[in-house]
Amino acid sequence: MAVAEQALQPPLCVDLDGTLIRSDLLLESLLLLLKLNPLYLLYLPFWLFRGKAALKSAIAARVKINPALLPYNREVIEWLESERRRGRQVWLCTAADARLADAVARHLGLFTGVLASNARLNLAGERKRQALVARFGREAFDYCGNGERDLAVWRSARSAVVVTASRSLARQVEAHVPVLQTFATPFHPVRSFLRAIRPYQWVKNLLVLVPLLTAHRLGDPSRLATGLLAVVAFCFCASSVYLINDLLDVEADRAHPRKSGRPFAAGDLSLAAGFIVAPVLLLAAALISAFLPLKFQLALGAYFALTVGYSLRLKRILVIDAVALAGLYTLRIIAGAVAVRIALSFWLLLFSVFLFLSLALVKRYAELDALRRQQRLRAAGRGYRVEDLAVLQSFGTAAGYLSVLVLALYINSPEVAALYRHPKAIWMLCVLMLYWISRVWMTAHRGGMHHDPILYALRDRVSLALGAVAAVTLLIAT
């Protein structure tokens, strides 16, 4: 009798985007397409002109998703598995292209069948309702969805399963159909947004003020105001780039033990939000830079172009990725000099290139060392292998010590005699830098470098104490 009752249970039809997964397969596949070749962006209007179904089909034909890395709603999947064990049919019914939907269904292995979009039909809203009624009959199926676009389907279902963070949507569904089950998904958009734009990284943009500091012009109110405006422009631009990087790297981040918790990778923030906010932040940076010299605008544009190039390709090229990171830090200093119209010191440029190359290599070394401790051989989306650790360490320490050598040569230059009354006191900086660089690399070697090296320095008491001693040294020299 129990088996007969279970057989009478209507099929359970489940949406994919926002329900089974905490993401959107169209946007996921679009990001994979643009990462494959950014020039595909030019094709999108032509594909969309033929209809949304044709757009989805064209993208799906050119990319291959890894369904194992998608951000699944585990609570929903566990419930579906329990329903399947009870003998109930479970169907995946989605507006995603059939090729992508089939890949997800094969990976999960719990669906009786799949109803999805094809090159001619976008199976969403009313079209999905018609397809389900045609296959199962009116009020002869239960439907599991997550948004207002599913209301049309729920009106023809026997009962509803609602996956949402919105209480108002749940009330709308209850007004039309009995609710069998509700899954409340946590949704903290402000917190997730702040995590995505990474305001704690803005401290790096204070490098824009370094030319003012080294030229002893921080006391000039006009130039300081201009420098601070340049810092704000870099903050907006950098946050825009962080969003773009996280969008393009979303699949690789999901395979990373630490980065898998990032908002886009975990599904805490919708990919659509990233597509909207990133250009808004970039526009804000451009508007601010309009009040600054043309050379600053060019430097900011070069920074943005290099960061996008880094996200798309350069980060996967051995050594080039570290050089690019060092260049991004140095570009901040160049931009600060042209913003406040201060002649850039050759010594400062050379010092920053070697120092930041060393720190970039520390970052790569720490990532590889973490993989080695997890007994993994290769970094996802990178050009490095675990056996490269020793070579990276030698490259990085050499670059760090070269920065100290440049500092020592600078102390003996005529520029120092013109800027400082007691230039010999600055030799203390060489000792401090030697110790700090050696300590950073020893920390990384012992597996203690869990953050970006610059952020590590801002949280490390010894580094902060060394910074304070360096500041006192400069005051004495002045």
**86-131 pLDDT, tens per residue?**
989 999 999 999 999 999 999 999 999 999 999 999 999 999 999 9
Q: What is the pLDDT of residue 381?
A: 53
Q: What is the average pLDDT score of the chain?
A: 89
Per-residue pLDDT, averaged over 283-290, amounts to: 96
Confidence of residue 1 (pLDDT cuts 50, 70, 90): very low
Q: At residue 70, does pLDDT exceed 90? A: yes
The label of the residue with tokens 């962006």 reads 41
Confidence of residue 219 (pLDDT cuts 50, 70, 90): confident
Confidence of residue 367 (pLDDT cuts 50, 70, 90): confident
Least confidently predicted of 18-27, 209-218, 284-293, 399-408: 209-218
User: What percent of the chain lies above the pLDDT cut of 90?
Assistant: 62
Strands 113-117 and 90-97: parallel
Q: What is the pLDDT of residue 292?
A: 95
For the whole prediction, is pTM greater than 0.75?
yes
User: What percent of the chain lies above the pLDDT cut of 70?
Assistant: 96
Distance CA 360, CA 378 (A): 18
Per-residue pLDDT, averaged over 286-297, amounts to: 95
Residue 303 and residue 207 in contact, taking contact as beta carbons nearer than 8 Å: no
Highest mean pLDDT (candidates 160-164, 230-234, 373-377, 404-408) = 230-234
Confidence of residue 32 (pLDDT cuts 50, 70, 90): very high
Confidence of residue 378 (pLDDT cuts 50, 70, 90): low
Least confidently predicted of 117-121, 347-351, 434-438, 474-478: 474-478
Q: Is CATH 1.10.30 correct for 190-477?
A: no
Per-residue pLDDT, averaged over 234-243, amounts to: 95
What Cα–Cα distance (Å) separates residue 452 from each residue in 41, 325, 359? Answer: 32, 12, 8
Q: Domain 2-187 is of which CATH architecture?
A: 3-Layer(aba) Sandwich (3.40)
Task: Please say whether the dihedral angle defined by the alpha carbons of residues 13, 17, 18 and 23, taken in this order, is positive or negative.
Answer: positive
**Partners of 317 in the beta sheet?**
none
Note whether 2-187 and 190-477 share their fold: no
Per-residue pLDDT, averaged over 140-153, amounts to: 92
| pLDDT tens-digit readout, 405-463 | 999 888 888 777 777 888 888 889 999 999 999 999 999 998 888 778 888 888 889 99
Q: At residue 141, does pLDDT exceed 90? A: yes
Q: What is the pLDDT of residue 2?
A: 38
Q: What is the pLDDT of residue 124?
A: 92
Query: Which carries the bigger pLDDT value, residue 336 or residue 175?
Result: 336
Domain spans, the chain: 2-187, 190-477
Residue 331 and residue 303 in contact, taking contact as beta carbons nearer than 8 Å: yes
Q: What is the pLDDT of residue 261?
A: 86
Q: What is the pLDDT of residue 120?
A: 92
